[in-house]
Structure 1
Amino acid sequence: MFGINIGFKYHKWAILYCSISAIGAFVFGYDNTYYSGILGMQEFKNDYGNYYVDGQKVLATSFTSLATSSIYIGDMVGAFTSGPLNDRFGRRVVLWITSCLVLAGGATQTADTHIEGVIVLGRILIGLGVGNFTVTSLLYMREVAPLDIRSPALYMYQFIQSCSQLVASGTTQGTNEIKSSLSYKLPVGGLVILPLAAFALLPFIPESPTWYAFRGRRDDAEKSLRKIHQNDAEYDPSADLALLEQTREYEDEQAKASSWKALLCDPVERKKLIWAAGGMNRR
């Protein structure tokens, strides 16, 4: 179609591994939508509101602002820590860590019914997980997907994120009429189910061959590449390994000349930073 031969059937395992990593996109999109829905639920207001208007409890502006913005504290810290964590432990371990953080945050919010500090803590934990998930999922997909399906694999992240937003909207709409705390706890429960799904699937994905190569673990990188291309009996990892090693050498050279100061003082790097930050600010 359109003269493009993507060859998905030749890369079904890579697509599967990228799909598992893309649970991070589902978490990102779901979290970005469900909370605005539960803020409008009367049962949520009954449990967390502290004054009445026309005989019904309403949420204080201070609570709404703090609970809504607290997740961005976690997002920021999670995004900053994702780099060192990925460099030190690899993509798979970070995906495990992020799943644990989202699970802890979702469980905290689900268990709580009226304490503002507890729900804020849950939001921060979820933010830590989402910040790491966003970086690590895209990083893993870029490094695992072969070149001829890399772009569609990365598009899949945005597609899944959009789908999860629809799921979150439908869930909050469907539970809105329940006359108990289940009206908002069921949508929150989605943030417990998603990391549990990740726990079940993460053991089956390989570590990024790029991470192995950058750590000097050539044999492990080769095993990872063979697992990604296991449906191709004639696959030879030599070319991919050589490319990864060349990339490692290039980045080592670039790292010597780069610094955090360059992000602000170098005109080219500063422009890249501003454009990248502006793109992410759409959230």
Structure 2
Amino acid sequence: MGAGAVATQASGVRVQGYERFLNPKRQWYNNKRLITLHAWIVLLLITSSVNGFDGSLMNSFQSLSAWEDYFHKPEGSILGLLNAIQNIGALAAYPFAPYLTDGIGRRRTIWFGASIMLVGVALQTAAQNLGMFIGARFCIGFGVTFATNSAPLLVTEISYPRYRAQLTSLYNSLWYSGNIIASWTTFGTEYISGNWSWRIPSIMQGIPPILQFFLVLMAPESPRWLISKGREEQALKVLAYYHADSDEQDPLVQYEFEEIKAAIYLEREAAQNVGWKSLVTTKGNRRRMIIIVAIAWFSQWSGNGLVSYYLNKVFDTIGITNQTIQLLITGILAIWNLFWSVLASFMVERFGRRLIFLTSAVGMLVFFTLQTICSARFAITQNASAAHAVIAFIFLFYAFFDIAFQPLIVSYTVEILPFSLRAKGFNVFNFVLSVALIFNQYVNPIALQAIAWKYYIVYCCWIAFELVFLYYMIVETKNLSLEEIAVLFDGDDLQEHIAQPLEVLTDEKEEVEKVSA
């Protein structure tokens, strides 16, 4: 039963829920409906590639002499604006994104965002001056907010329960797929004379949104969203078609269907409204928001922003100034990052979120500190070995960053939020992430230019704080359904409302409980 499938956090005991009803013969590789479902999910996952493409694109453009010459070698605040403008565009869309996501549905919101992104990509590719380029990047950022606000929600809400955590974790991990395409495309076009060396990579940024523009409206809609709109029959058909070969009486489908209905009922009863105030009105929601705001900020303020957007400036501080070498290292680093983040995505249910977060923070602290020490040694002695060590420690730092702060920040955020607040809470996550990005993109180039390696010390201290915060705040959610996770945070608040929804459960639900008994 929806709320009764788990015990409260205080008891420390969890009764297995959906796992009892999983068909061991139904695997992702041998069931046609699951293969089809995962094909749709891949279409949603590539939304993250747009952001990854952009992060590497601007980094790579700064290593292209043709781009720098065309836009008159932007530096300082102008360079900061070029890198930050996409996130400024994203900020402009945040007030509207959750209302579209909850109002017109996940699929239509993604389509709307993809349409706007295509306009931005066209303008960026055809840019004739710096103002046009900046306007295009603002447009891309504005559109990507709608897509990124809905895509991971739809992934987590339509996934087969056995694979939900892994697939949702893959969402943000595929940021690096766009990163790789941008890095290696730019590495190849470096040898093209003229402006096509940067216009071709700009065209490539339009691949994910054009696929979504033509296909996403044919993907399945979220059963949770459908139920919240009173379209229960349609929701049941979606669950049955993809999770049980159209068998609406399948025990897993009945369990999911009734659990979702009960959870949505409880959320509505437990809160007087589902507006923005609800994000902080209960103890459980306040803890959610503290965690979400923190990991969003940590994901951009752990030293990784120096590499993601200003790697060429970091190279300059350690004496690596050759354009080809810079582009080559950027491309190799993107592949390295994709490997570790995807690997971690498939390990989230085996090792658990808490262990992965803590391991990540410890590793980042160790290797960023070593990176700082070697950068200082190079600055003082000009020792080539110290410069090479910095590159090695950047790679090792990123391996630990990738195992948690790439796959988990999105999947953990959407899974700890209840359905009624998922779109709004995830919008807060994206807002904080963009603010952190904008702050970094303005401050990092100025700080690097002013104090070089000494700026790294700030991040060493901050990562140490992150480790302490994660130790005390992260709640383990391994092997729990979305509705079961809600009870970990809201158990005390929901207990008094459990009896009432039990009275409205259907006869089919009672049959499922008898089977499970």
2:43–2:211 Cα contact (<8 Å) kept? no
Q: Show the counterpart of 2:260.
A: 244
Name the SS for the 2:293 alignment partner: helix
Q: Are residues 1:216 and 2:216 paired?
A: no
Name the SS for the 1:272 alignment partner: helix
Deviating more after overlay: 213-222 vs 87-96: 213-222
Aligned Cα root-mean-square deviation (Å): 2.5
Q: Show the counterpart of 1:47.
A: 70
One of 219, 225, 239 as aligned partner of 2:239 = 225
* CA distance, structure 2, for counterparts of residue 175 and residue 247 of structure 1: 52
Q: Are residues 1:12 and 2:35 paired?
A: yes
Q: Show the counterpart of 2:46.
A: 23
Q: 1:241 to 1:268 in 2, by over 3 A?
A: closer
Paired residues in the alignment total 270
Q: How does 1:112-261 map to 2 (within 5 A)?
A: 112-114=127-129, 116-229=130-243, 231=245, 236=250, 237-256=253-272, 260-261=276-277
Q: 1:84 to 1:259 in 2, by over 3 A?
A: closer
Name the SS for the 2:128 alignment partner: coil
Deviating more after overlay: 71-80 vs 121-130: 71-80
Q: Structure 2: where are the runs of 5+ without partners?
A: 1-23, 301-517
Q: Show the counterpart of 1:105.
A: 120
Q: 1:16 to 1:125 in 2, by over 3 A?
A: same
Deviating more after overlay: 25-34 vs 75-84: 75-84
Q: Show the counterpart of 1:62.
A: 77
Spell out, residue by residue over 1:221-242, the C-alpha distance to the aligned partner (whole angstroms, 9 max, x if none): 1232233236465763433322
1:106–1:191 Cα contact (<8 Å) kept? yes
Deviation at 1:259, TM superposition (A): 5.6
2:236–2:248 Cα contact (<8 Å) kept? no
One of 98, 119, 123 as aligned partner of 1:83 = 98
Spell out, residue by residue over 1:59-86, the C-alpha distance to the aligned partner (whole angstroms, 9 max, x if none): 2433212221111112223344221111
Deviation at 1:156, TM superposition (A): 1.9
Q: Show the counterpart of 2:462.
A: none
Spell out, residue by residue over 1:15-74, the C-alpha distance to the aligned partner (whole angstroms, 9 max, x if none): 12211111212112212221221133111122211xxxxxxxx22433212221111112
2:241–2:247 Cα contact (<8 Å) kept? no
Name the SS for the 1:40 alignment partner: coil
* CA distance, structure 2, for counterparts of residue 166 and residue 95 of structure 1: 23
1:102–1:130 Cα contact (<8 Å) kept? yes
Deviation at 1:218, TM superposition (A): 1.3
Q: Show the counterpart of 2:329.
A: none
Q: Show the counterpart of 1:54.
A: none
Q: Show the counterpart of 1:52.
A: none
1:101–1:125 Cα contact (<8 Å) kept? yes
1:206–1:227 Cα contact (<8 Å) kept? no
Q: 1:84 to 1:167 in 2, by over 3 A?
A: same
Q: 1:241 to 1:63 in 2, by over 3 A?
A: same
What residue identity is the alignment partner of 2:100?
Answer: L
1:13–1:231 Cα contact (<8 Å) kept? no
* CA distance, structure 1, for counterparts of residue 204 and residue 109 of structure 2: 21
* CA distance, structure 2, for counterparts of residue 211 and residue 262 of structure 1: 19
Q: 1:82 to 1:143 in 2, by over 3 A?
A: same
* CA distance, structure 1, for counterparts of residue 68 and residue 42 of structure 2: 37
Name the SS for the 1:256 alignment partner: coil
What residue identity is the alignment partner of 2:256?
Answer: D
Task: State the identity %.
Answer: 24
What residue identity is the alignment partner of 1:174?
Answer: G
What residue identity is the alignment partner of 1:185?
Answer: R
* CA distance, structure 2, for counterparts of residue 235 and residue 34 of structure 1: 49
Q: 1:125 to 1:7 in 2, by over 3 A?
A: same
Deviating more after overlay: 186-195 vs 267-276: 267-276
What residue identity is the alignment partner of 1:98?
Answer: G
Post-superposition, which runs of at least 4 consecutive aligned residues in structure 1 deviate over 4 A? 232-235, 261-271
What TM-score, normalized by structure 2, do the two folds share?
0.48
* CA distance, structure 1, for counterparts of residue 142 and residue 201 of structure 2: 19
2:271–2:278 Cα contact (<8 Å) kept? no
* CA distance, structure 2, for counterparts of residue 266 and residue 208 of structure 1: 26
* CA distance, structure 2, for counterparts of residue 219 and residue 232 of structure 1: 13
1:206–1:224 Cα contact (<8 Å) kept? yes
Spell out, residue by residue over 1:94-129, the C-alpha distance to the aligned partner (whole angstroms, 9 max, x if none): 110111111111111011122x22222211111122
Q: Show the counterpart of 1:74.
A: 89
Considering only CA atoms, is the larger Rg found in Structure 1 or Structure 2?
A: 2
What residue identity is the alignment partner of 2:60?
Answer: G
Name the SS for the 2:86 alignment partner: helix
What residue identity is the alignment partner of 2:70?
Answer: D
Deviating more after overlay: 139-148 vs 248-257: 248-257
Q: Show the counterpart of 1:53.
A: none
Deviation at 1:252, TM superposition (A): 1.3
Deviation at 1:162, TM superposition (A): 2.1
